[in-house]
């Protein structure tokens, strides 16, 4: 077989993207197209007393104006699609446009449809809404207090759900030699893909077909959910999301906006487009993280962790977004024990409604929160027992011979060699050398620090049976169709929907590797429900382990049929055919061979096929994985803190990750780079801030600090390869590892640098001001 699997192949999609030839949703131009603009609430919490749209209706270019009341009977509610079991989840209606009450700044109140984008936007200013402003609450802990403003009558205490798992008891903590207690605030983040959200809808009254172009990570989920909201049969609805400019989790959700656009297109019989601007994006597109966590760790004096317990208050915002309830429960709670042999774990999560933008998945979704709390607690514990934090990790990592490993939270880690990744990273970092140098520099008044994270994550989301058991209202399998054309060129249809990750390249590598064809001879089609039978999308770093495996299974089927046809052509039995580098040989007679292309042609001509073999060369597979995959690794960061200004400089960043067999090291490394940058963004700069009235005061890129390339050194990355034993490619996901590991790594490094000042914790993001203040105050803040 060819060796294209595991090799660097340049991303084939990039020439299209970097020369401006991508077809993003906003690039769609249709004859007679109208434009939508949505009036959004300026108040975080208010009753709608009345809306006067008459002036807007008369404005030049305006075709229609809709309010919540106009639509209440004509559109369904926007649903949530994850109902964690035994969580008493409340699902108050989420109307596409608010009817009686607005619940966050940005809640949709009215929609204008006009001839141009500008006419639609201008007409918004002519709509007059009479509000009765109500008190707002933005903090989830305050929202649970008696007397807090109530968002939904269905949840009088603002608790959307309460979910628990684990076996840790008070007794374990009462008997422990050491107990470390701590409270962490995981600040709220705003995902910022390059392409904002957009939607275009076109209805054909003659056929009753609706086509919706939308910035989606999961077009089939969009079709499924939109068909329910709009009452249009699924087979009359086509969703297209081929080129999507990043998502980071925020394009999983089905939002009111695309449902509104589709409704207007059907109602008016003309295509309608809507594209959010960046300000609207900040207000309306789902945010990530936002937990308050009360933590306890129990351990022995000699560094054995016995129990970890967390009570988390997750801010869900004003409504439950599509996948939102699964993020702080299943994706967070189950992985709290991390890569360690911790016998007792307790997780207790409250999901709370507040007058803020709804939260949902943001790269890592639940796993960064779990990894952060665990890795911070391990460092605090190490400090408490005066042991090097690496040594504590060594003593608690799951040994390589204990896989598959069962956690107290019910997971089965498939495979791993955590010690190997740790020792590789320590070698790359020269950890011991750094520790010696740190002492010397401290003596000179310089404050350098090192932070280490050892992590494991749940990715490769599937199997479907587990999805059902944990309340996800969908499946988690994938489909793949491999179509070989008469000339031997190949088109692959995949149910997953990459939006920046590069599977047009890596999936072509899988095909080239299996069939022995050239990467250039393979086309990968994704993101169109009319071309692909079904798929559950791209998130949870599942595309490669799940959709890639579906592809591998379909390719095996193609290969099997091709082998039978080749045998017939070579006049030998199928068992006597060998396949290598795109040629089929008669066993022991290398001179007798036919190429894959010859076989493809014969399969299509069908003049002389073996008995019982159908014409054509095409196969489909529906693959449901046996388990999740568990990527893991060690990240190490070295920083220097300027104690006069509080500025943190990242000197080195080392990442050793294990995602099983690596298909394309360059793409995998690129994913690690992007992930690290996002993780460090949370550690040092990013954070959404609401004032007490519920106004988002970090609502533009001027106020919300995004990471810039110049803030970083060159990342030093490496992979160890521990194949997943349960999928045909031996692969695990890599798309989120950087984000999961980087945040605690950097925070641990800064706090290590500041240890001489007695600083135990700094609230993220570690801005220069916060770092400087904590130095001034010593350890008193914690």
The pair of three-digit structure tokens given for residue 587, joined into one six-digit string: 């066993």
The pair of three-digit structure tokens given for residue 430, joined into one six-digit string: 């020269």
Quick one: which H or E segment has residue 390? Answer: helix 389-396
Rounded Cα distance between 345 and 311, Å, is 11
List Cβ neighbours of 776 (8 Å cut-off, separation of 6 or more): none
CB closer to ligand MCN, 340 vs 536 = 536
CB closer to ligand MCN, 188 vs 564 = 188
Whether the CB-CB separation of 656 and 424 falls below 8 Å is answered with yes
The beta strand positions in 5-118, using DSSP E, are 34-40, 46-52, 62-67, 101-102, 108-114
Is residue 283 classed as helix, strand or coil in its secondary structure?
helix
The beta strand positions in 115-229, using DSSP E, are 128-133, 159-166, 178-189, 198-204, 209-214
Q: What is the DSSP letter of 578?
A: E
Rounded Cα distance between 524 and 511, Å, is 10
The CB-of-173 to ligand MCN minimum distance in angstroms stands at: 35
Residue 292's Cβ-side half-sphere holds a number of Cα atoms within 13 Å equal to: 12
Rounded Cα distance between 573 and 131, Å, is 80
CB closer to ligand MCN, 408 vs 679 = 679
CB closer to ligand MCN, 249 vs 333 = 249
The CB-of-175 to ligand MCN minimum distance in angstroms stands at: 40
CB closer to ligand MCN, 211 vs 727 = 727
The CB-of-494 to ligand MCN minimum distance in angstroms stands at: 11
The CB-of-611 to ligand MCN minimum distance in angstroms stands at: 39
Rounded Cα distance between 738 and 227, Å, is 36
Is residue 513 classed as helix, strand or coil in its secondary structure?
helix
The CB-of-325 to ligand MCN minimum distance in angstroms stands at: 18
**Binding stretches for ligand MCN (CB under 6 A):** 193, 246-249, 363, 498-503, 506, 538-544, 659-664, 667-668, 671, 674, 731-736
The CB-of-475 to ligand MCN minimum distance in angstroms stands at: 16
Rounded Cα distance between 337 and 339, Å, is 7
The CB-of-469 to ligand MCN minimum distance in angstroms stands at: 21
CB closer to ligand MCN, 460 vs 694 = 460
Whether the bond into 755 is cis, omega within 30 of 0: no
The CB-of-242 to ligand MCN minimum distance in angstroms stands at: 15
CB closer to ligand MCN, 414 vs 640 = 414
CB closer to ligand MCN, 17 vs 772 = 17
CB closer to ligand MCN, 238 vs 281 = 281
A 10 A CB-CB count for 103 gives 28
The CB-of-672 to ligand MCN minimum distance in angstroms stands at: 9
Q: Which residues pair with 212 in a beta bridge?
A: 201, 239
Q: Which residues pair with 178 in a beta bridge?
A: 299
């Amino acid at each position: 077989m060819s060796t294209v699997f595991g090799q660097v192949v340049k991303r084939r999609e990039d020439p299209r993207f970097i020369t401006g030839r991508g077809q993003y949703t906003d690039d769609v131009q249709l004859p007679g197209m109208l434009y939508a603009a949505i009036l959004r609430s300026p108040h975080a919490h208010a009753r709608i007393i009345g809306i006067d749209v008459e002036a807007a209706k008369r404005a030049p270019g305006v075709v229609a104006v809709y309010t919540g009341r106009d639509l209440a009977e004509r559109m369904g509610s926007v649903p949530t699609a994850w109902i964690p079991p035994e969580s008493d989840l409340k699902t108050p209606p989420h109307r596409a446009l608010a009817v009686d009450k607005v619940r966050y700044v940005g809640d949709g109140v009215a929609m204008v449809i006009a001839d141009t984008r500008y006419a639609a936007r201008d007409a918004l200013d002519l709509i007059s809404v009479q509000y009765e402003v109500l008190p707002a609450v933005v903090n989830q802990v305050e929202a649970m207090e008696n007397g807090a403003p109530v968002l939904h009558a269905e949840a009088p205490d603002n608790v959307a759900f309460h979910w628990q798992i684990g076996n840790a008891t008070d007794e374990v903590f009462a008997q422990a030699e050491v107990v470390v207690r701590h409270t962490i605030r995981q600040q709220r983040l705003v995902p910022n893909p390059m392409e904002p959200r957009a939607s275009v809808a076109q209805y054909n009254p003659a056929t009753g077909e609706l086509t919706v172009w939308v910035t989606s990570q999961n077009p089939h989920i969009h079709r499924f959910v939109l068909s329910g909201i709009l009452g249009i049969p699924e087979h009359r609805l086509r969703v297209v999301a081929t080129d999507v400019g990043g998502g980071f989790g925020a394009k999983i959700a089905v939002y009111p906006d695309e449902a509104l656009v589709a409704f207007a297109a059907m109602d008016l019989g003309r295509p309608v487009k809507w594209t959010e601007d960046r300000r609207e994006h900040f207000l309306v597109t789902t945010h990530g993280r936002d937990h308050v966590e009360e933590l306890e760790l129990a351990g022995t004096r000699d560094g054995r962790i016995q129990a970890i317990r967390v009570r988390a208050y997750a801010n869900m915002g004003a409504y439950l977004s599509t996948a939102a309830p699964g993020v702080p429960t299943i994706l967070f709670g189950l992985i709290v024990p991390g890569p360690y042999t911790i016998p007792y774990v307790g997780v207790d999560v409250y999901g709370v409604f507040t007058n803020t933008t709804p939260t949902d998945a943001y790269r890592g979704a639940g796993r960064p929160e779990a990894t952060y709390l665990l890795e911070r607690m391990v460092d605090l514990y190490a400090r408490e027992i005066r042991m090097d934090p690496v040594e504590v990790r060594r003593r608690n990592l799951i040994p390589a011979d204990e896989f598959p490993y069962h956690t107290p939270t019910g997971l089965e880690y498939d495979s791993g060699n955590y010690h190997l990744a740790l020792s590789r990273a320590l070698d790359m970092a020269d950890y011991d050398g750094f520790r010696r140098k740190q002492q010397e520099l401290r003596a000179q008044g310089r404050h350098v620090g090192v932070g280490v994270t050892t992590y494991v994550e749940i990715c490769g989301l599937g199997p479907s049976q587990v999805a059902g058991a944990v309340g996800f209202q969908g499946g988690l399998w994938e489909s793949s169709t491999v179509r070989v054309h008469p000339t031997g060129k190949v088109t692959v249809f995949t149910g997953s929907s990459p939006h920046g990750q590069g599977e047009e390249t890596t999936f072509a590598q899988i095909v080239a590797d299996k069939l022995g064809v050239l990467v250039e001879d393979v086309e990968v089609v994704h993101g169109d429900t009319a071309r692909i039978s079904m798929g559950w999308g791209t998130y949870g770093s599942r595309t490669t382990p799940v959709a890639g495996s579906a592809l591998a299974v379909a390719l095996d089927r193609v290969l099997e049929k091709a082998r039978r046809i080749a045998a017939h052509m070579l006049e030998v039995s199928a068992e006597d055919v060998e396949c290598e580098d795109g040629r089929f040989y008669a066993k022991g007679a290398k001179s007798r061979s036919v190429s894959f292309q010859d076989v493809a042609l014969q399969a299509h001509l069908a003049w002389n096929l073996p008995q019982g073999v159908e014409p054509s060369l095409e196969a489909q597979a529906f693959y449901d994985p046996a388990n999740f995959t568990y990527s893991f690794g060690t990240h190490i960061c070295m920083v220097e803190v300027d104690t006069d200004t509080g500025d943190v400089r990242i000197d080195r960043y080392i990442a050793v990750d294990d995602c099983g067999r690596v298909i394309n090291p360059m793409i995998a490394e690129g994913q690690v780079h992007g992930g690290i940058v996002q993780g460090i963004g949370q550690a040092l700069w990013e954070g959404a801030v609401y004032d007490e009235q519920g106004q988002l005061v970090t609502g533009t890129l001027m106020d919300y600090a995004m990471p810039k390339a110049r803030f970083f050194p060159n990342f030093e990355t490496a992979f160890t390869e521990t194949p997943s034993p349960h999928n045909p490619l031996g692969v695990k996901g890599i798309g989120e590892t950087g984000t999961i590991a980087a945040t605690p790594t950097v925070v641990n490094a800064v706090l290590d640098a500041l240890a001489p000042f007695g600083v135990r914790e700094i609230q993220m993001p570690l801005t220069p001001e916060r770092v400087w203040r904590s130095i001034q105050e010593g350890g008193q803040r914690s």
